[in-house]
A and B are shown apart, each in its own frame.
Chain A
Amino acid sequence: MKGPTRTLDPDFGLTFSMFYISAVGKGVPAVDFELTEDQETIRKAVAGLLRDFDDRYWMEKDRDHAFPEEFYAAVADGGWLGITIPEEHGGHGLGITEATLLLEEVARSGGGMNAASAIHMSIFGMHPVVVHGSDELKRRTLPRIARGDLHVCFGVTEPGAGLDTTSITTYARRAGDHYVVSGRKVWISKALESEKILLLTRTARRDEVEKPTDGMTLFLTDLDRDRVDIRPIPKMGRNAVSSNEVFIDDLRVPVEDRVGEEGQGFRYLLDGLNPERMLIAAEALGIGRVALDRAVRYGREREVFGRPIGMNQGIQFPLADALAHLDAAELVLRKATWLYDQGRPCGREANTAKYLCADAGFTAADRALQTHGGMGYSEEYPVARFFREARLMRIAPVSQEMVLNYLGSHTLGLPRSY
């Protein structure tokens, strides 16, 4: 199969029924855990599409800090980048459930976070633009995203703010029909490779507004290299996709590049937070799955003391334990995406899915490395790469601790601690 446009039911996102209660037999309700046929098709098609991008491909891209152009082109040509972009803008208008299945499969193909991050922003990052952007802005950008010829990055975090987003200081000053933006962003994935940035700024300082979340404005605009200096940050993994410091010095941004209303940017971003956590959860899950697969294969093949090492309980049990945790984490993720696609509240489930998938993914990668022994430490096997990348998911895009903050205060109703 080439891509979803040719085979998928257009109502597909609405018919998903992971937790669908149906009548079975004499009216006994049952929970349906099966993926739909179309969702299975996504999995198989993506797995098939990425089969040629083997361990060597990813090892070399990671080693050389080289963006995986061939992989990106294959995904774009397959029609997958626009999976959640509305059909009128050249996408397929599918749900977050399908998007998470896609990214899970991408990570699971062995590409890990290098592969997932290369396309992550295209898959769901444009959500604020889709919901709040002007028709003109959408016409100008979304079809190009779906086709794959527009790379975008996400410019929110700053050195002085971290996850305390309302403390950002990058400032957009209105000057006639444009804004002039200055400031500094950090940990901006893919900025080096991107033509545009979805940029969060302040148009009123925090001390000038009633609520800290007021006075923030979102733009989708060009990363004009004359006005923006981008410096990659040396880091421990996911090196095929850059993470950058971005220095913005009097960048002119046309008013037409503003997403929605001035001062409402923070609210627009909030809409995307839960799906973001689900996508990251799916990517962590995918890494965990591929790491576990490799560990099981090695455990069967490698013989020490005259028998496969997988026969040792000391090897077998940690891998079985990793499997149990991945399976449990996956169920919460499926529930979260189902709730979101049903338009129901999903903050608790989205956060829990991110928390459990990140831990389960990392634990699986860690145990895969341990199973490989000394070879796990060598770049000859991919598990060291999985380990480095899986570690990231316990930090980004939101730390495990901040997830617990959310669950503690929002779900349990305990006093907010920060």
Chain B
Amino acid sequence: MERDEFTLVRDMLRAFATRFRTGSADDVKAQTRADAQRALDDLGLTGLRRTSPPAATVQECALLAEEHGRQPLTTSLLGTALLAPELLRLLDDGERADPVHGDRPTVALAGDLRFPDPDAVGLVAWDCDGADTALFVHAEGRVTEHELGAPAPTADLLRGVRRASAEGRPVGRLTPGAHRSWQAYALVVVASELVGAARSFVGQSVDYARERQQYGQPIGSFQAVQHQLADATVLVEACTSAARYAAWCLDSETPDRALTAARVAKAEVNSSAVEAVYAGMQVFGGIAQTWEHVAHLYLRRVLVGATALATTADLLTVLAAPEATR
């Protein structure tokens, strides 16, 4: 994308996010969710990665995912606009068997929200506000399309997760290289959204530390508070760098190298984003423990996000293995 064009897209998304952000957990209602999703759909972002070559780089998509993560949003940017279209694009480059029935698919994951292992049971459709079907990539690369079922429980109050039908229609099969690219891309996009969430929440807690007065001075003047926020900022920078580098690798390197970088990034984000949000919550003090405050929406997002696709234990185990066997 041209620089100006990308800036325009990002500004549109930012304006949308500011308008439709969730102010409090009580605001999460079916109607507000539907309105927000419709507004996001109107931005027409599903085409960013649908064509070959794609209109947007992975780096640009990652930045948009970060932007989406900055506000507490119920909308499905990741599932329906970034992940499913990329999956279909990768399929088109390989063995595409049958057309997709849904107008707006999202992606399906194993019941525990991770990439499936060969014995995975109990699929869920993930990030499915506005979606009508879900695409599932089996452990061996086969792709099937599934119907959406009843809402599934999740601790992330903003994310739409539904049960998916056990049986799916065959859609095609990813080549081994495309499968790796798909996994790397999914890790990068999900990690990037968490990076955005952590960065934004730490920023909000810095603002609070400037305003909130105790003993006649802003609490941000206390070193113990300042240092905690400085440490949190370092964590945010670390996971930002790791995620952006992984995105760059997908645009510039082989799928193998990109997947390694993406695993490193997700592992870093899994711990750093959560730590950063913890630090922010400590600075907010008691108010961050209330239902009305947005803190728990961010905390839920990063906690569940840290287990999505691949946990730190999954990733470190793979990264510790010799490169040839990953």
Contact = CB atoms under 8 A, between A and B. Distances in A.
B291 interface: no
A313 B222 CA distance: 7
Interface string A252-278: 000000000000000000000000000
Nearest to A312: B223
Contacts of A313: 222-224, 227
Interface string B214-241: 0000000011100100000000000000
A317 interface: yes
What band does the interface of chain B fall in when counting residues whose beta carbon is under 8 Å from A? under 10
A141 B175 CA distance: 76
Interface string A210-249: 0000000000000000000000000000000000000000
A248 to B, nearest CB: 39
Contacts, number: 10
A317 B223 CA distance: 9
Nearest to B222: A313
Interface string A28-51: 000000000000000000000000
Size category of the A interface is: under 10
A144 B319 CA distance: 57
Contacts of B227: 313-314
Interface string B91-114: 000000000000000000000000
Interface in A299-314: 312-314
A313 B227 CA distance: 9
Contacts of B223: 312-314, 317
Interface in B301-322: none
A314 B224 CA distance: 6
Interface in A153-190: none
Interface in B195-228: 222-224, 227
Contacts of A317: 223-224
A170 B223 CA distance: 57
6 contacts: A312-B223, A313-B223, A313-B224, A314-B224, A314-B227, A317-B223
Q: Which 8 A-B pairs have the closest CB atoms?
A: A313-B223, A314-B223, A313-B224, A317-B224, A314-B227, A312-B223, A313-B222, A314-B224
Interface of A: 312-314, 317
Given A313-B224, A313-B227, A314-B224, 7 more contacts: A312-B223, A313-B222, A313-B223, A314-B223, A314-B227, A317-B223, A317-B224
